Amino acid sequence: MKFGGGAAGSMSLPGSSVARQKDGAADAVSDQFPAGLRVLVVDDDPTCLTILDKMLRTCRYEVTKCNRAEVALSLLRENKNGYDVVISDVHMPDMDGFKLLEHIGLEMDLPVIMMSADDSKNVVMKGVTHGACDYLIKPVRIEALKNIWQHVVRKKKNGWKELEQPGRLDDGDRQQKQEDLDNLSPSNEGSWKTSKRKGEEDEGEEKDDMATLKKPRVVWSAELHQQFVVAVNQLGIDKAVPKKILELMNVTGLTRENVASHLQKYRLYLRRLSGVSQHQGGLNNSFLGPQETSFGMMPSLGGIDLRTLTVAGQLPAQTLASYQASGLTRAALKPSIAMPFVDQRDSLSIEIPKLKFGEGQKQQQQLSTTNTKHINLLQGIPMTMEQKQLVSFQQSPQLSGTLNNLHGGGQNSSLLRQMVQPQSQGEMLNESIGGQMSLIQSSIGQPIPRNRVSNSDYSVNHMADLPHNGFPLSSTPVITPLSSKGFKQEGISSDMQGEKVFAQSYDVFDNLHQHKTQNWQLQNAALNYGAASRYPTTSLGNAVNVSPSVLVHQAFSLANHKNGHNGDCHVGKTISFAGAEEQFGGTTNIDRNANCLLTNIPSRVKVERVQEMSSRTNLFSDHFGHDDLMSALLKQQEDLGQVESEFDFDGYTMDNIPV
């Protein structure tokens, strides 16, 4: 009763040889395909895991078992090209399956199949929205597993399609892309390569580095992304169809397919943002969006960020509205950057800092509470992130100073502070620094800081060093600087490859927190929110341009990247991307993304504030005239050091702002 009698008959290979080689001859793999498919299966239930393992081996796949999501993630990160597909359970004690799914999607871009005994529609829908390529109901039958290879092929095919897009960016961009690719963090590169490699398997293409890509991918540079966001906002997120977006963008060499896949990612990103906000119970209910686990940590931040983003005006109201029923909408409704949030929630700014992400998911709750607490504190301070606050940010470099102090290196912090507390800078700083910083930090996109949840930790440092740098800023959503830092650090100008950009951001986070997925989330949330919130506060208007999704993305990526580093600025980066790309007037952020998410954040924030996010203007750049701030931040970032530029964004290394 060996199953697949037919297959067994023809396949001579036990599946353990040639096919197994990870980077073995592509030809060999393809000959044996689907045998030798490298599957990573994650399930906390040992019975189930054993059965699945056996079934998959019977299918002649190469199986790796894992009973913990964290372990699975580290396995994947260590060996980016080591697996072809991941099968994961939904309910796991250490990490929600959907969160894992997101991580993988962002960092490795592998097909992920979810499974659960739960077959209720909304859970399955969640799988779909999170990007799972399939959903299996337990008990899983072997027949269902026999065909999982289709997902691998499909993904590769889609990847190739993009590469082969004829009208892709012009050569100049392409080149840029390639360079970026080179700069991309290993993880990114790895996944890209993998897809590329696989894509070209049949052609006998060897794994070549990105530079020799035959089918260059579209690089979603900050500028390009900005254009994209503008187009989407113009059309309305619900009505934005690739064709129209493409027309609006009017970029030569860009195909509808490029836009379509970028849009998909963008949507996911936005969804995440809204989801995160929801989690923030403490913060604002309004943000309640889809409660994404990933955002979980950010609950407090999430809410704020989104709002901030919206407030900043960056987030298209419609976008916000669409995403967040409650929380965001508020923000969205108020296009003025002035922080509609602020109005709605004074605590916004407060909230942000509160998010002390450091703690990770568990902290979420804590965060929310903390945030709420902070909020209260802040309440006193006219947190109206409104423009004047923003202005104050701009004007008061002191915050930056304070922030810096807080985080120790967190230049961002100071910026954050400034940003966050436009109003009572002094007070804010003190209080918020701890809490806000965290918020900011978190918002800045330091998902990582989760660990650092400690308010003080939030400081920008989170962004840079997620690892609990305890950036005081981290809490502060001042994310903008952070994000900018992250982005800027790398100096990833514009190469934010559209899709990759996000991906990068994810990576960032990843690196930041590797261990702390939670942090990641927080950070992401923080970042996102931070950025978002920052904007509003700093009257970033401009800054906020980055639609929350962007920020979120950014944050996430940062967080992701930084996971490893925890606290790396990556988090910041992510935020910045988000912000940068979209809101920051455009390219600035994005370009800078890498640059110093953390450091930039403050600058970004400033910039943003100053300018209503004139699209594409670099937030950091002069708009705000916070150049000085930026430089200060940048300097700080340098101090902070690690700007992980894993992802394209060199700037990402938002450097862990030494706390």
Binding site for other proteins (CB under 8 A): 1-3, 44-48, 50-51, 54-55, 58, 89, 91, 116-118, 138-142
Cα(461)–Cα(504) distance, integer angstroms: 19
The torsion defined by the Cα of 415, 419, 422 and 424, in degrees rounded to 10, comes to -60
Q: What is the b/e burial string over 486-516, where b = at least 16 CB atoms within 10 angstroms of the residue's CB?
A: bbbbbbbbbbbbbbbbbbbbbbbbbbbbbbb
Task: Please say which residue, 45 or 164, places its beta carbon nearer to other proteins.
Answer: 45
- Whether 286 and 250 have beta carbons less than 8 Å apart is answered as no
Minimum separation from the CB atom of position 123 to other proteins (A): 11
Minimum separation from the CB atom of position 103 to other proteins (A): 22
Minimum separation from the CB atom of position 21 to other proteins (A): 22
Q: Which of 218, 200, 214, 213 is CA-nearest to residue 262?
A: 218
Q: What is the b/e burial string over 176-192, where b = at least 16 CB atoms within 10 angstroms of the residue's CB?
A: bbbbbbebbbebbbbbb
Task: Please say which residue, 361 or 600, places its beta carbon nearer to other proteins.
Answer: 361
Indicate the helix (H) or strand (E) that contains 261: helix 256-279
Minimum separation from the CB atom of position 551 to other proteins (A): 32
Task: Please say which residue, 138 or 215, places its beta carbon nearer to other proteins.
Answer: 138
Assign 563 to helix, strand or coil. Answer: strand
Task: Please say which residue, 5 or 172, places its beta carbon nearer to other proteins.
Answer: 5
Place of tokens 């970042």: 527
Quote the Cα angle for 593-599-600, to 5°. Answer: 45
Task: Please say which residue, 44 or 622, places its beta carbon nearer to other proteins.
Answer: 44
Q: What is the b/e burial string over 17-54, where b = at least 16 CB atoms within 10 angstroms of the residue's CB?
A: ebbbeeeeebebbbebbbbbbbbbbbbbeeebbebbbe
| Beta carbons within 8 Å of 550's beta carbon, 6+ residues apart | 225, 229, 266, 269, 577, 578, 579, 580, 581, 582, 583
Please confirm whether the linkage preceding 139 is cis (ω < 30° from 0). Answer: yes
Other Cβ atoms within 10 Å of 635 Cβ, number: 15
Minimum separation from the CB atom of position 138 to other proteins (A): 5
Task: Please say which residue, 48 or 381, places its beta carbon nearer to other proteins.
Answer: 48
Minimum separation from the CB atom of position 369 to other proteins (A): 19
Task: Please say which residue, 141 or 362, places its beta carbon nearer to other proteins.
Answer: 141
Minimum separation from the CB atom of position 291 to other proteins (A): 15
Minimum separation from the CB atom of position 49 to other proteins (A): 9
- Whether 270 and 323 have beta carbons less than 8 Å apart is answered as yes
Minimum separation from the CB atom of position 224 to other proteins (A): 44
Task: Please say which residue, 158 or 365, places its beta carbon nearer to other proteins.
Answer: 365
| Tokens matching residue 231 | 């187009």
Minimum separation from the CB atom of position 93 to other proteins (A): 9
Task: Please say which residue, 114 or 381, places its beta carbon nearer to other proteins.
Answer: 114
Which phi and psi angles does 133 have, rounded to 5°? -90, -10
Task: Please say which residue, 140 or 543, places its beta carbon nearer to other proteins.
Answer: 140
- Whether 465 and 504 have beta carbons less than 8 Å apart is answered as no
Q: Could you tell me the CA-to-CA distances from 386 to 98, 240, 610, 653 in Å, in that order?
A: 35, 29, 12, 29
Indicate the helix (H) or strand (E) that contains 134: strand 134-137
Q: Could you tell me the CA-to-CA distances from 266 to 145, 296, 479, 528, 578 in Å, in that order?
A: 30, 19, 20, 14, 10
Task: Please say which residue, 3 or 33, places its beta carbon nearer to other proteins.
Answer: 3
Please confirm whether the linkage preceding 34 is cis (ω < 30° from 0). Answer: yes
Minimum separation from the CB atom of position 51 to other proteins (A): 5
Minimum separation from the CB atom of position 86 to other proteins (A): 18
| Tokens matching residue 570 | 């990556």
| Tokens matching residue 505 | 């951001």
Minimum separation from the CB atom of position 101 to other proteins (A): 18
Task: Please say which residue, 55 or 433, places its beta carbon nearer to other proteins.
Answer: 55
Cα(405)–Cα(419) distance, integer angstroms: 15
Task: Please say which residue, 142 or 235, places its beta carbon nearer to other proteins.
Answer: 142
- Whether 501 and 548 have beta carbons less than 8 Å apart is answered as no
First to last CA, the chain: 62
Minimum separation from the CB atom of position 148 to other proteins (A): 16
Task: Please say which residue, 91 or 174, places its beta carbon nearer to other proteins.
Answer: 91
Surface-to-core class of residue 628, CB atoms within 10 Å of its CB (0-12 exposed, 13-18 middle, 19+ buried) = middle
- Whether 436 and 458 have beta carbons less than 8 Å apart is answered as yes
